[in-house]
Amino acid sequence: MGMTLAEKILAAHAGLDQVHPGQFVEVDVDIVLANDITAPIAIREFEKLGVTRVFDPDRVVLVADHFVPNKDILSAEQCVQMRQFARAQGLAHYFDVGRMGIEHVLLPEQGLVVPGDVVVGADSHTCTYGALGAFATGMGSTDIAVAMATGRIWMRVPETIRIVYHGTLRPWVGGKDLILYTIGQIGVNGANYKAIEFAGPTIDALSMDGRFTMANMAIEAGAKAGLFAVDETTRAYVEGRARRPYRVYPPDRDANYAQIIQIDVSDLEPQVAFPHLPSNIRPVSQAGEVPVDQVVIGSCTNGRLEDLRVAAEILRGRRVHPAVRCIIIPGSQQVYLDSLREGLIEVFLTAGAAVSTPTCGPCLGGHMGVLAAGERAVSTTNRNFRGRMGHPESQVYLAGPAVAAAAAVAGQIIHPDHL
């Protein structure tokens, strides 16, 4: 029987010729990941296992990104735990302030994840690496503790939904709009327990950064993983970065899909997710008048160079609206440096935006842009749950970098063409 991309990668890592949805398999993992808020629990559970060493110090990656630079004493102590563990275990890939990035921007950029990998991370947005043709999925800290110790993890082989996109994208429409629209169509649990395979002519023409954004938000539809087949775009990105040789697994033509969804995106407008679910989608033209107090551009969803270029294109020669705080967060030190060299940082500062060192900070209401009661934010992040960015009575509207930058200028949600 033909296999989907997810099934092929899992079969290869389980040492089996064939796997089928619903089957429980134990797979070898290529990379195990945790961050400053999930690692402390993982380390605590790891120690209960009675194991002294991680399975491979080159394959356990720890990144301080959520509450760094440390927002308070407790966060600082969590980072100390992680730092000490990394040193004691001799981990090759521990990333601290000044060298770090938001984990899901950082790992692909540094060539730590390559096509065909199985990656498990104690962060739900680990699914981002599906853009590289890897099977990557988020888990809790206890699972990560076991993976750190054994290099293996159990999984239920997911069914796969294939989503095929047709048509050429209009100006200001990108990966974020494709994935928001898709979540609006299938719902926040439309792919629960399943993998999504993104495909079609629109995807073939989509940049890597756009693909990372889409794979990143597969979890917002409940998916275990969101995958893209490897093509020339992937190879060009991986070239010169990959730290390990990699394998490419194409899905079989006769693979068995739980569902195949065809979407024509020729007429798709920029999309906005209204509070309090990522599936609460409206095209920007139907957003109505939504005044905005804060705009955040960044995160593991939209903190890459291409996202900042789009934002700069809109902010160049314009001013952030007097009623708005616009916070721009490059996703990694490298993205920051590239933005600086391209002159983007100057554009942002001239426009009246704040530029921050890489951090997850405001996305989850941690720091660097927490909202007060009644405040509204347009954010390029991935979740708009109640209280996600601060006070339970605050509101988050999710959008791509173009709509977010336009909202920063206009002081309300607006189509970038209408500035």
Are 159 and 256 a contacting pair, CB within 8 Å?
A: no
3-state secondary structure 342-363: CCHHHHHHHHCCEECCCCCHHH
Residues 55 and 93: beta-carbon distance below 8 Å: no
Q: Which is nearer to other proteins, 20 or 415 (CB)?
A: 20
**Residue among 10, 62, 78, 358 that touches other proteins (CB under 8 A):** 78
> Which residues ranging from 118 to 157 are in contact with other proteins (CB under 8 A)?
121-124, 126, 138-143, 145-146, 149-152, 154, 156
Q: Compare residues 156 and 247 and give the one whose CB is closer to other proteins.
A: 156
106 close to 212: Cβ distance less than 8 angstroms: no
Question: Using CA atoms in the order 277, 278, 283, 289, what is the torsion angle rounded to 10 degrees?
Answer: 50
Give residues 211-240 in contact with other proteins (rule: CB under 8 A): 222, 224
> Do residues 331 and 303 lie in contact, with contact meaning Cβ atoms separated by under 8 Å?
yes
Write out the two tokens for 134.
């890897």
What are the start-end ranges of the H helices in 23-140? 39-48, 73-89, 103-109
145 versus 214: smaller Cβ distance to other proteins:
145
Please state, in angstroms and rounded to a whole number, the distance separating the CA atoms of residues 7 and 224.
12
Instruction: Please report whether residue 99 would count as binding other proteins according to CB under 8 A.
Output: no
Q: Is 250 in the site for other proteins (CB under 8 A)?
A: no
Q: How far apart are CA 313 and CA 318, in angstroms?
A: 10
Q: Which of 19, 218, 364, 414 binds other proteins (CB under 8 A)?
A: 364
Residue 320 and residue 337: Cα distance in Å, rounded? 23
58 binds other proteins (CB under 8 A): no
Q: Quick one: which segment of 171-179, 324-332, 340-348, 361-369 binds other proteins (CB under 8 A)?
A: 361-369
**Is residue 260 a contact point for other proteins (CB under 8 A)?**
no
> Does residue 89 touch other proteins according to CB under 8 A?
no
Q: Which one of residues 4, 5, 40, 230 is an interface residue with other proteins (CB under 8 A)?
A: 40
Distance CA 267, CA 271 (A): 12
Q: What are phi and psi of 156, to 5 degrees?
A: -95, 125
Among the listed ranges 228-236, 365-373, 399-407, 408-416, the one in contact with other proteins (CB under 8 A) is 365-373
By CB under 8 A, residue 56 contacts other proteins = yes
**Considering the rule CB under 8 A, would residue 31 count as an interface residue with other proteins?**
no
Contact residues toward other proteins (CB under 8 A) are 1-2, 15, 22, 24, 26, 28, 37-38, 40-41, 44-45, 48-51, 53, 55-56, 66-67, 71-72, 74-75, 78, 121-124, 126, 138-143, 145-146, 149-152, 154, 156, 188-189, 192-193, 222, 224, 254, 277, 364-366, 370, 383, 385-388, 390, 392
